[in-house]
C-alpha cells in the first residue's frame, strides 16, 4: 500500500496570524496552469515593455483582480497594500490593522486566503487553486521595500520567474 505524503506545515508555530502586521502572500493555480493572462500565439505574448496596468488579463484574471480589490470591503482591518496577478499565481502584501488591540473578529491570513480562493472558485465554476499558499511575515522596512519591488517588477521578469511554465496554446 502506498503511503500518502504528509504535508509539511509551513506556518510559524505559535504565531498569531490575525495580529497586526504586513504579510507577503503568494497563491498559485493548481498544476501552475496559466489561467490569468491572455496568452495567445507565441508572437502575441505579453512583453516586458508593457506596463503592469496593461497586463492582458483573461476573464478569470479579471475576476481575480476584482476579488483582490474587494478584500478590504469584507474586513475593516485588512488592506491589500500591493499586488500583482501573474499568469499562474498572484502576489500580495496584506496588511492587518488592529487599532484597539485584537478584535474578536480579526481574520487570520489563512481565513482571508481561504475565502478569497473559495469566492473565485465559485465564480468560475471549478477549483483552480493549489491546496496551500506561501506566506512571509514582513519584519522590517527593508524587507517591505524588497518585496514591494519584487511584486512591482515581477511581470517584467516573467520568463525567469520560478513559477514560469511555457504556455501551451493552440494558434488558430
What is residue 167's predicted lDDT score, i.e. its pLDDT?
61
- Give all strands of the β-sheet with 78-85 in edge-to-edge order: 78-85, 89-96, 21-28, 134-138
What is residue 24's predicted lDDT score, i.e. its pLDDT?
97
What is residue 96's predicted lDDT score, i.e. its pLDDT?
93
What is residue 42's predicted lDDT score, i.e. its pLDDT?
40
Please list the ranges in the chain whose pLDDT falls under 50.
7, 41-46, 48, 51-53, 169-172
What is residue 54's predicted lDDT score, i.e. its pLDDT?
57
Q: Please state, as a whole number, how many other Cβ atoms lie within 10 Å of the Cβ of residue 154.
A: 19
What is residue 168's predicted lDDT score, i.e. its pLDDT?
53
Instruction: Please choose, from the candidates 23, 156, 143, 24, the residue with its C-alpha nearest in 3D space to the C-alpha of residue 86.
Output: 156
Apex 167 CA angle, 163 and 168, nearest 5: 135
Instruction: Please choose, from the candidates 86, 83, 82, 84, the residue with its C-alpha nearest in 3D space to the C-alpha of residue 159.
Output: 86
| Residue 138 CB contacts under 8 Å (≥ 6 apart), including other chains | 21, 22, 23, 24, 93, 144, 147
Amino acid at each position: 500500500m502506498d503511503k500518502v505524503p504528509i504535508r509539511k506545515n509551513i506556518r510559524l508555530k505559535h504565531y498569531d496570524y490575525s495580529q497586526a502586521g504586513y504579510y507577503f502572500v503568494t497563491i498559485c493555480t493548481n498544476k501552475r496552469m496559466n489561467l490569468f493572462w491572455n496568452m495567445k500565439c507565441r508572437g502575441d505574448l505579453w512583453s516586458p515593455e508593457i506596463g503592469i496596468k496593461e497586463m492582458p488579463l483573461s476573464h478569470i484574471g479579471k475576476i481575480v483582480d476584482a476579488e483582490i480589490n474587494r478584500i478590504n470591503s469584507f474586513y475593516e482591518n485588512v488592506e491589500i497594500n500591493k499586488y500583482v496577478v501573474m499568469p499562474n499565481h498572484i502576489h500580495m502584501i496584506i496588511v492587518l490593522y488592529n487599532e484597539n488591540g485584537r478584535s474578536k473578529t480579526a481574520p487570520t491570513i489563512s481565513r482571508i486566503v481561504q475565502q478569497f480562493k473559495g469566492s473565485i472558485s465559485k465564480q468560475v465554476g471549478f477549483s483552480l487553486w493549489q491546496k496551500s499558499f506561501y506566506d512571509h511575515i514582513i519584519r522590517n522596512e527593508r524587507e517591505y521595500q524588497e518585496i514591494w519591488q519584487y511584486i512591482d517588477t515581477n511581470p517584467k521578469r516573467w520568463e525567469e520567474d520560478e513559477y514560469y511554465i511555457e504556455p501551451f496554446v493552440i494558434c488558430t
